[in-house]
């Protein structure tokens, strides 16, 4: 038996981007940052930030694109997957990506409003928080690399 599951609680680093595969499947991409404090070699506390690239599919992609905004705190559950790609110099690279299967909006509307006015001043398209933070499940395990539009 094997098991691949990751849980992330962090803040969105950018507004989500909704795309469609050639077959019409919705996919939403965004980045999430987690932070923790660690002591460095000198004994001083330093913030350590880890960035995650997240993709959600189907109805979950629609929910993510509608309700998530840069700075918003979110709970993401899914599976971790390695993705190979070729950079501009022709070098094969590997990155880790989270395929989200569950999403919960955290925080409250006041925190969302503060996140929307802080930083870059990006538009939120009048997004509002749903009344429930119940998990949304709609993950298609039959998606292949050819379905991913990036």
**H-helix segments, 2-134:** 58-67, 109-117
Q: Which domain holds residue 24?
A: 6-136
For residue 147, what pLDDT is reported? 47
50 in a structural domain: yes
Tell me the pLDDT tens digit for each residue of 42-90.
Answer: 888 999 998 899 999 999 999 999 999 999 999 999 999 988 889 999 9
145 in a structural domain: no
- pTM of the entire predicted model: 0.66
- Taking the C-alpha atoms of residue 146 and residue 124, their distance in angstroms, rounded to an integer, is 31
141 in a structural domain: no
For residue 135, what pLDDT is reported? 42
CATH number of the domain encompassing residue 55:
2.40.50.140
- Residue 115 makes CB contacts below 8 A (sequence gap 6+) with 11, 69, 70, 71, 72
């Amino acid at each position: 038996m094997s098991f691949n599951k990751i849980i992330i609680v962090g803040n969105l680093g950018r507004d989500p981007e909704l795309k469609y595969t050639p077959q019409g499947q919705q996919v939403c991409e965004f980045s999430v940052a987690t932070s923790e404090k660690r002591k460095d070699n000198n004994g001083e506390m330093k913030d350590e930030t880890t960035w995650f690239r997240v993709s959600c599919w189907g109805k979950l992609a629609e929910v993510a694109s509608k309700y998530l905004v840069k700075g918003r705190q979110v709970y993401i559950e899914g599976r971790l997957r390695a993705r190979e790609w070729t950079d501009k110099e022709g070098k094969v690279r590997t990155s880790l990506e989270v395929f989200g299967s569950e999403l919960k909006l955290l925080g409250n509307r006041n925190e969302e409003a503060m996140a929307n006015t802080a930083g870059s001043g990006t538009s939120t398209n009048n997004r509002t928080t749903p009344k429930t933070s119940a998990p949304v499940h709609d993950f298609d395990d039959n998606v292949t690399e050819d379905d991913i539009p990036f």
